[in-house]
Amino acid sequence: MPANTQSARFDTLVAAHADDLFRFGCWLTGDREVAQDLVQETMIRAWRKIDQLRDPQAVKPWLLTTLRRENARRFERKRLDTVDIEDRHVADTDQVDAETLMLNGQIRVELAKLPRKYAEPLRMQAVLGCSIGEITSVLGISRSAAMTRVHRARQQLKERFSADCRLLAAG
């Protein structure tokens, strides 16, 4: 395929998903700079393999899967440094409503308690806006498994928050 045609196809198919890739990278890593690096690596791999993509509808799951694998590769390549918790600087959050921060924190804590097989599909749907079809492609599971896992994750979160509300009402 000529370079101009390949470049145009790459721009059309991949550039439209750069924001989603960045959000997914941020969610996976919790670090904007690392997420940017992951997106760049994903784009490089996509550029090299763009001729192998047969279905333009599959580009988003393909890219999300590639980014997910790139993230896994970075753990294979290096050991992460540990940081003493007392040395960490806590950002000033006066700009954000305290109640919103508390609720977001509770949601993150409860989501982190869920088994990964339930939490990951729910995050992909809620944070990235992925469809069930995209979740199945990225995670390599069946459609019914993806739907079940999202449903069970939501139910578990609902039960945990309902229990918290009952405790607050009783207290």
Structural domains in the chain?
1-78 (1.10.1740.10), 97-171 (1.10.10.10)
- How many beta carbons lie within 10 A of that of residue 73, not counting itself? 11
Distance separating alpha carbons of residues 21 and 71, to the nearest angstrom: 12
Q: Above 80 in pLDDT, residue 159?
A: yes
Least confident of 104-108, 123-127, 132-136: 104-108
Query: What mean pLDDT is predicted for residues 143-158?
Result: 91
Whole-prediction pTM: 0.49
Determine contact, residues 114/153, Cβ cutoff 8 Å: yes
Pick from 150, 124, 132, 115: which is nearest to 24 by CA?
124
Question: Residue 124: what pLDDT?
Answer: 87
Distance separating alpha carbons of residues 146 and 61, to the nearest angstrom: 14
Query: What mean pLDDT is predicted for residues 158-164?
Result: 77
Task: Give the pLDDT band of residue 145 (cuts 50, 70, 90).
Answer: very high
